[in-house]
């Protein structure tokens, strides 16, 4: 198994910057603002032939008794339990703080190997930057600059040696990479996204806290259900642009939109106890533009009267009619009801998005559509469609070749989309049609 290294420290000491450098990614949000990371965030790193897992954690306040800081502390404590070694980051420019001493007491009691690391040390002498931190009794501090990469390589080597001893890569067999559906769970703040993730996983893997905007980063979580592999992506809630005041929240929106683009299937979660808003429609529109397969979950369905349920269904039909290709499920993430059928629709949507359609089958379906209804003439010319082939997946793209296809109207294009969708049972995924007209050999050059 790969060794696991947890990054722990008080807010704004550079944990996410170090995480990004170790994983050679920009998966963790980084800004000069404390409290940016809240959930634990996993990534893969490698030094030479030695792979490892690294966990980024939120700013740690072990003594927090309530509120979001208490929830963040729970996540950090769980990361320490999961880790083989802990990198404890402190700020070389601010020096030793009482908060650092409190974290040291917790780490000492955890029994995990701990490396004390003084970050933000660029341009400073070793003796100057480390003097205060010997008081913590954690041995000689490592001095690094996560932002510039100074000292990071040696630090990781030492952390791996602490985690697994001086073993070679051959001693540790490589774990096979899990493949499967990347499922992004998106929606407005406080609709129950993290509660749904926890229900699927059967544990408090991400913070579920009754306050809008609790999740600020996009967290990827490997997950297996009924023998099928998934990667769940719990994302930050997207608010209307006018409501995005904090720089942190602007970062979170970008991460959420990236998560939609990178996912195979998107689960749009709505709140049954609130009206379907314009913002819900905007999120759905972006998912559609991105071409992602889609399943809609209407959460907090339990406890509603039958009249209220009828009102919501009418509202859904009216405001989200453009999502007619997607399956809608009415669930309760808190009580774990309706989740089985929801995940079956996720599987169906993924299968539809990744379908392989042969050219003969597509051409035959095209001929059937034209035989049933031909496109209108454009002036004296009627568009002539000759054959079709598949031009891509996720979403499926059908490329139709012929002559004068620029004259095909939008309503006929929608007719073709519906025909292909019904012919090949493409439920849960958008379908795109592209027209490619051949050149008319009788057209004179220069005219």
**pLDDT digit string, tens, across residues 413-444:** 999 999 999 999 999 999 999 999 875 444 44
Q: In this predicted structure, which of 93-102, 160-169, 334-343, 359-368 has the lowest mean pLDDT?
A: 160-169
Asked whether residue 446 is assigned to any structural domain, the reply reads no
Is pLDDT at 360 greater than 90 in this prediction? yes
Would you say 143 and 194 are in contact if contact means Cβ atoms under 8 Å apart?
no
Is pLDDT at 207 greater than 70 in this prediction? no
Q: Largest alpha-carbon pair distance within the chain?
A: 90
Point out the domain boundary residue: 137, 171, 205: 171
Domain count, the chain: 3
Would you say 342 and 331 are in contact if contact means Cβ atoms under 8 Å apart?
yes
Q: How many CA atoms lie within 13 A of 393 on its CB side?
A: 13
- Do both 278 and 301 map to the same domain? yes
The pTM for the full model equals 0.64
- Do both 302 and 340 map to the same domain? yes
- Do both 82 and 196 map to the same domain? no
Q: In this predicted structure, which of 180-189, 352-361, 394-403 has the lowest mean pLDDT?
A: 180-189
Rounded Cα gap, residues 293 and 7, in angstroms: 35
Asked whether residue 447 is assigned to any structural domain, the reply reads no
Asked whether residue 134 is assigned to any structural domain, the reply reads yes
Residue 381 structural domain: 359-437
Provide CB contacts within 8 A for 409, sequence distance 6+.
Answer: 375, 376
CA 260 vs. chain centroid, Å, equals 7
- Do both 222 and 260 map to the same domain? yes
Q: Which of 112, 152, 141 has its CA nearest to residue 3?
A: 112
- Do both 217 and 276 map to the same domain? yes
Residue 122: its pLDDT value, please? 86
Would you say 16 and 127 are in contact if contact means Cβ atoms under 8 Å apart?
no
Buried b (16+ CB within 10 A) or exposed e, 283-315: bbebbbebbbbbbbbbbbbeebeeeeeeebeee
Q: What is the CATH number of the domain that holds 159?
A: 3.40.50.300
What average pLDDT does this structure show over 34-40? Answer: 58
């Amino acid at each position: 198994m790969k060794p696991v290294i947890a990054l722990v420290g008080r807010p704004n000491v550079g944990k996410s910057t170090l995480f990004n450098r170790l994983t050679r990614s920009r998966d963790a949000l980084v800004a000069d603002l404390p409290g940016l990371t809240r959930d634990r965030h996993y990534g893969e790193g490698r030094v030479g032939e030695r792979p490892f897992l690294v966990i980024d954690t939120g700013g740690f306040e072990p003594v927090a008794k309530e509120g979001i800081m208490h929830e963040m502390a729970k996540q950090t404590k769980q990361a320490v339990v999961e880790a083989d070694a802990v990198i404890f980051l402190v700020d070389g420019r601010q020096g030793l703080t009482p908060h650092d001493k409190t974290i040291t007491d917790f780490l000492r009691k955890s029994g995990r190997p701990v490396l004390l690391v003084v970050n933000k040390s660029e341009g400073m002498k070793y003796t100057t930057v480390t003097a205060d931190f010997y008081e913590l009794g954690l041995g000689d501090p490592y001095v690094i600059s996560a932002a510039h990469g100074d000292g990071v390589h040696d630090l990781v080597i030492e952390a791996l040696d602490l985690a697994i001893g001086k073993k070679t890569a051959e001693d540790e067999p490589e774990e096979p990479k899990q493949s499967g559906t990347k499922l992004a769970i998106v929606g407005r703040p406080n609709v129950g996204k993290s509660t749904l993730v926890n229900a699927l996983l059967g544990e408090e893997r991400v913070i579920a806290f009754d306050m809008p905007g609790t999740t600020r980063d996009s967290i990827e979580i490997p997950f297996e259900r009924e023998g099928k592999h998934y990667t769940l992506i719990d994302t930050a809630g997207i608010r209307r642009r006018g409501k995005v005041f904090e720089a942190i929240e602007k970062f979170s929106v970008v991460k959420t939109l990236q998560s939609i683009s990178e996912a195979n299937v998107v689960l749009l979660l709505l709140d049954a106890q609130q009206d379907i808003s314009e913002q819900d429609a905007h999120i759905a529109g972006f998912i559609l533009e991105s071409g992602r397969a889609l399943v809609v979950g209407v959460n907090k369905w339990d406890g509603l009267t039958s009249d209220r349920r009828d009102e919501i269904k009418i509202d859904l039909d009216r405001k989200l009619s453009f999502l007619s290709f997607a399956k809608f499920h009415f669930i309760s993430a808190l009580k774990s009801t309706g989740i089985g059928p929801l995940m079956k629709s996720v599987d169906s949507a993924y299968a539809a998005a990744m379908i392989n359609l042969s050219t003969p089958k597509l051409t035959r379906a095209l001929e059937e559509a034209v035989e049933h209804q031909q496109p209108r003439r454009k002036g004296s010319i009627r568009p002539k469609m000759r054959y079709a082939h598949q031009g891509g997946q996720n979403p499926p793209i059908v490329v139709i070749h012929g002559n004068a296809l620029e004259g095909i109207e939008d309503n006929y294009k929608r007719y073709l989309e519906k025909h292909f969708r019904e012919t090949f049972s493409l439920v849960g995924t958008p379908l795109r049609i592209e027209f490619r007209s051949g050149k008319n050999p009788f057209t004179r050059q220069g005219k």
